[in-house]
């Protein structure tokens, strides 16, 4: 009989792709949901409600062999340190609660999807590595770092194995925030004043992230480690916009606006965080991930963007 995998956050855009990939690979998939919803790939589902230090995982973990923990309080632009307790409750103490419950239920391995924001916000002289000293800068990054620490504490000396993944920006069907805005700008043919940006950013398609998560469920080198992931093809923001334009069959209008002018406009409009992500650099080095796990991203950036554009044009607007 195939192993059963519990996926938290299964209704999110990463979770939906992961559930289908797990089912295709022969796993029995149980989706942990906040509210009822049918999901392709999930053979069964269970309601867990809010995730925090009091969540009852008993029914969700019954008969489960493996767990992929995707659920999190997602980062929202403008949420400052005043929201720290809310982020810590879900991403920190909620993760510890799940780990303790999984350990008691006899789960064999738990994969925690954290964030590259644990490393920092960039830019750095060298790309981030899994060995770097964590330097989270916002409430979301700090809560993810707390979740990592509490997970490792809860599994220390236990039979339950744990591994941590820190992805950069994840894109694919269902993507939101800045990536969705880029898709909208390109489709509408608007002039985009980012032609003078000379940054480098790592990103990862949801299919490559899901493929790595499957590898981590079984690989003997996975437990007790932090793993970084990307598509392996870093892009500048102008290059990414041109790639989206090619996938969409649209002419891209990139204007070389001075960066100083963009910064001033961002300050006046209260959008400095968004501008930093569009114009700043953030790269990850996943050499150790590929070497030690014998893994390589199966989907190229071009193919990943083409899939994302198809979703956007059919149902993502």
Retrieve residue 175's tokens.
């993507």
As a residue count, the chain comes to 317
Q: What are the residue boundaries of the structural domains of the chain, listed by start?
A: 4-173+203-232+284-298
End-to-end CA distance of the chain: 41
Residues annotated catalytic, as ranges:
140
Nearest to 317 by CA among 150, 191, 185, 142: 185
- What distance in Å separates the CA atoms of residue 8 and residue 25, rounded to the nearest whole number? 18
Long-range contacts of 130-138 (CB under 8 A, 24+ apart): 130/166, 130/225, 130/226, 130/227, 130/228, 130/288, 130/289, 138/75
- What distance in Å separates the CA atoms of residue 267 and residue 275, rounded to the nearest whole number? 9
- What distance in Å separates the CA atoms of residue 141 and residue 120, rounded to the nearest whole number? 8
DSSP string, 146-192: HHHHHHHHHHTTSS-EEEEEE--EEESTT--HHHHHHHHHHHHT-EE
Q: Using the Cα atoms of residue 163, residue 166, residue 170 and residue 174 in order, give the sign of their dihedral.
A: positive
Retrieve residue 292's tokens.
């030690």
Whole-number pLDDT of residue 271? 86
Whole-number pLDDT of residue 77? 62
> pTM of whole model > 0.85?
yes
Alpha helices in the chain (DSSP H): 13-24, 58-61, 84-87, 94-105, 139-155, 177-188, 206-218, 237-248, 259-269, 272-279, 287-293, 301-311
Angle between helices 237-248 and 301-311 (to 10 degrees): 60
DSSP string, 210-254: HHHHHHHHH-TT-TT-EEE---S--B-HHHHHHHHHHHHT---EE
Residues of the chain with pLDDT under 70: 1, 76-81
- What distance in Å separates the CA atoms of residue 160 and residue 146, rounded to the nearest whole number? 19
Name the CATH code of domain 4-173+203-232+284-298 (choices 3.40.50.1100, 3.40.50.1240, 3.40.50.720, 3.30.70.270).
Answer: 3.40.50.720
- What distance in Å separates the CA atoms of residue 164 and residue 151, rounded to the nearest whole number? 9
- As a whole-number percent, the residues of the chain with pLDDT over 90 amount to 83
- 66-97 residue pLDDT tens: 999 999 998 766 666 678 999 999 999 999 99
Whole-number pLDDT of residue 42? 79
């Amino acid at each position: 009989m195939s192993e059963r995998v519990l996926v938290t956050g299964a209704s999110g855009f990463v979770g939906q792709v992961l559930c289908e990939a797990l089912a295709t690979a022969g796993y029995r998939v149980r989706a942990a949901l906040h509210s009822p919803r049918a999901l392709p790939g999930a053979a069964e589902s269970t309601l867990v409600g809010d995730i925090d230090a009091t969540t009852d995982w008993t029914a969700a973990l019954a008969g489960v062999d493996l767990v992929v923990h995707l659920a999190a309080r997602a980062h929202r632009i403008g949420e400052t340190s005043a929201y720290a307790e809310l982020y810590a409750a879900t991403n920190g103490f909620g993760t510890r609660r799940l780990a303790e419950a999984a350990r008691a239920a006899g789960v064999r391995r738990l994969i925690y999807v954290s964030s590259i924001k644990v490393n920092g916000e960039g830019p750095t002289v060298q790309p981030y590595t899994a060995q770097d000293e964590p330097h989270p800068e916002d409430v979301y990054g700090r809560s993810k770092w707390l979740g990592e620490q509490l997970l490792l504490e809860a599994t220390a000396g236990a039979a339950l194995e744990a591994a941590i993944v820190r992805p950069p920006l994840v894109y694919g069907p269902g993507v939101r925030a800045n990536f969705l805005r880029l898709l909208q700008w390109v489709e509408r043919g608007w002039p985009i004043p980012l032609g003078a940006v000379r940054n480098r950013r790592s990103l990862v398609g949801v299919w490559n992230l899901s493929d790595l998560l499957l590898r981590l469920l079984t690989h003997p080198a996975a437990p007790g480690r932090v793993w970084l992931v990307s598509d392996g093809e870093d892009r500048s923001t102008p290059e990414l916009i041109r790639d989206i334009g090619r996938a969409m069959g649209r002419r891209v209008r990139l204007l070389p606006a001075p960066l100083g002018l963009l910064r001033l406009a961002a300050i006046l409009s209260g959008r400095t965080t968004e501008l930093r992500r569009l114009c700043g650099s953030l790269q990850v080095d996943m050499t150790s991930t590929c070497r030690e796990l014998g893994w390589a991203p199966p989907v190229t950036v071009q193919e990943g963007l083409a899939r994302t554009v198809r979703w956007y044009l059919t149902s993502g607007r």
